[in-house]
Chain A
Amino acid sequence: MEKEVLNLRQKSRLYSPWVFHAHCGGCNNCDIEVAAVLAPRFDVERIGIQLKNNPRHADVILVTGPVPKHSAPFLKRVYDQAPNPKVVMAVGGCAVDCGPYQRDDGAGNYALAGPVDRVIPVDVYVPGCPPKPETILHGAVLALKKLAEKE
C-alpha cells in the first residue's frame, strides 16, 4: 500500500512539476525570457510546469542572475525550504558562470558570492545571454528527466 502511494506521488510529481522562480541579482532579461516560456507560444504548461510563489510547494527551483553576497543566504534558505526530491535549474549566463560580471583573470567580483553552483548544487545548466525560450524548454525537459531519476 505504501509503495503504491509513493508511486502515485512520484507520478503526480512528474505529471505536473511546480517551479519556484528565484531572482538573484542580474539584469532581469532572463526573467523576461522565462515569462515568454510561460506564454502561449512556447507554452511550458503542456509539460505540466506551473509557477508557484512558495518554495515549500516547489519541485524545481529556477535561479537567474549571479548570486550577490547579499542574497546568497536567502537562496540557501529557499533551497532548504523546498521538499526533497528537488531539482535546481541555473538559467542564463550569469547563473552558469557570472557572465559579464566576472573578471577576465578569474579572481571574481568583490560583490558576488560566485555563480549559483558555489552556493547550492545545480542539476541543469541553461547557458545564453539571455537564453532562448527554446533552450529553456530543452532545459526543462532535462530537469524532468533528472527529477525522474532522483525519486
Chain B
Amino acid sequence: MGGKVKLLEELVQNLSRCVTVDYPGGSWPGKKYSFIVPNGRGKHEFDPDKCMGCAACRNVCPNYTINILDKDDKRTVSVFLGRCTFCGRCMFDCPEEAIKLTPQYEFASTSREDLCIENTLERNKCKNCGEYLFPEKQLKRARERILENIDERVKKVFEDDTKIYLGYCSDCRKKLSYAKNIHTRKYY
C-alpha cells in the first residue's frame, strides 16, 4: 500500500516538474504571472512627488540614456529605454530615491516614441529679470541642505538671506548683492 502512495507521489512530482514558464499569464502589475525576478531591473518609474530635477541621474549614466531638456517654464527628465543597459546607477545615486527600476519587463514596442519615459517639472522665475531658473523643489532642497550644516550663531542670518537670494538668478544676485545686503563678505 505504502509503495503505491509513493508511486503516486512521484507521478505528481513528475507532472509538476515542468520547466516551461507560463506566458502570457497576464501583464504586470496586479495580475498573476508565474515567474518574476523579485529584484529584477526592468522599466524605469519616476516618483513625480519626489523628483526635483537635479540631474544627478543624467550625470551618473554611463550610456547617456537620460536627457534633461529645459524649455520655457518646464524641465523634462526623459529616459530613452533603447539605449539603457539597466545597470541601475541612476537608482542608486538618486539623492531623493525618486527614480526606480521596477521588475516590469514588458516594454517591447512597435514604435520608437513609446520607449521614452518622461517626467515634467515646473521651473521658477527670477524675481528681477524674469529668466527661468531651477525647479521649485530643487531650490527648497538646496536651502534645507545649506541650513543643515551651518553653525547656530549665524543660522538666523542665513535663513533670512536664503529666502531672498535663492529667488534671483546668478547675474542678478551679483548686481543686487549690495543693494539687498546679501553679499557673502559680511560673514567673514
Contacts and interface: CB of A to CB of B under 8 A. Distances in A.
Are both chains from one complex? Answer: yes
A2 interface: no
A125 B24 contact: no
B63 to A, nearest CB: 6
Interface in A89-117: 93, 96-100, 102, 104, 117
B105 A135 contact: yes
Contacts of A134: 23, 35, 105-106
Contacts of B24: 141
Contacts of B105: 132, 134-135, 138
Contacts, number: 80
A116 B88 CA distance: 26
B19 A41 contact: yes
Measured as residues with beta carbon below 8 angstroms from the partner, the interface class of chain A is: 20 to 34
B131 to A, nearest CB: 26
Given A98-B83, A128-B81, 10 more contacts: A40-B19, A41-B20, A96-B83, A99-B85, A124-B108, A124-B109, A127-B82, A127-B115, A129-B85, A138-B106
29 contacts: A40-B19, A41-B19, A41-B20, A42-B23, A43-B20, A93-B82, A93-B83, A93-B85, A96-B82, A96-B83, A97-B82, A100-B63, A102-B64, A102-B83, A117-B112, A124-B109, A124-B110, A125-B110, A127-B81, A128-B81, A129-B84, A132-B40, A134-B35, A135-B106, A138-B105, A138-B106, A142-B108, A142-B109, A142-B110
